[in-house]
């Protein structure tokens, strides 16, 4: 399978925006998708980006994306690669593609001197769990996420 990953650029932000909107619809969260294209463009392309993105291609066809942020591990004093969203379109449940992507991410993260990778996973319509376990990812049951919406 001929797969590649390319960073989001000025010319590909519209594609990323469409794919994220598609993901929200497929996850049954259409009503939660309220971001404007201008908000997206600014978040990814401003002088100090709030978020980073990579598009995933099968040959020349865009099939998905990864959106990530940097977090900080206070006890370690090092940066953490936090995956906010990972979407593989029609390959969403393909363990081979997901495993390939995890390997690519790990190589990138090691080269960029991150101390760990974190990912949250929506239980339905998400990539399969088996590749996460086989790549030595482990669920963290010790914390719960608490959220207060400000919108």
Compute φ and ψ for 128, nearest 5 degrees. -65, 155
Q: What is d(CA 23, CA 8) in angstroms, rounded to the nearest whole number?
A: 17
Confirm whether pTM is higher than 0.75.
Answer: yes
> How many CB atoms sit inside 10 A of residue 94's CB?
18
Task: Check residues 63 and 131 and name the one with the higher pLDDT.
Answer: 63
Q: Where are the domains of the chain?
A: 3-134
- Confidence at residue 110, expressed as pLDDT on a 0 to 100 scale: 92
Give the residue carrying structure tokens 């294209």.
Answer: 37
- Confidence at residue 22, expressed as pLDDT on a 0 to 100 scale: 94
125 has a pLDDT exceeding 90: no
DSSP class of residue 149 equals: -
Q: Please give the average per-residue pLDDT across 71-79, as a whole number.
A: 95
* Summary mean pLDDT of the chain: 88
Fold of 3-134: Aminopeptidase (3.40.630)
């Amino acid at each position: 399978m001929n797969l590649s990953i390319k960073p989001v650029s000025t010319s590909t932000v519209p594609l990323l925006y469409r794919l994220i909107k598609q993901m929200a619809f497929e996850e049954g969260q259409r009503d939660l998708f309220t971001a404007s294209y201008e908000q997206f463009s600014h978040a990814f392309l401003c002088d100090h980006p709030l978020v980073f993105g990579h598009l995933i291609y099968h040959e020349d066809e865009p099939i998905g994306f990864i959106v990530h942020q940097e977090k900080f591990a206070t006890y370690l004093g090092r940066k953490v690669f936090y995956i906010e969203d990972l979407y593989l379109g029609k390959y969403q449940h393909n363990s081979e593609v997901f495993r390939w992507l995890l390997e690519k991410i790990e190589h990138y993260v090691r080269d960029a001197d991150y101390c760990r990778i974190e990912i949250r996973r929506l239980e339905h319509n998400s990539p399969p769990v088996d590749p996460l376990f086989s790549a030595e990812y482990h669920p963290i049951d010790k914390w719960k996420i608490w959220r207060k919406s400000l919108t």
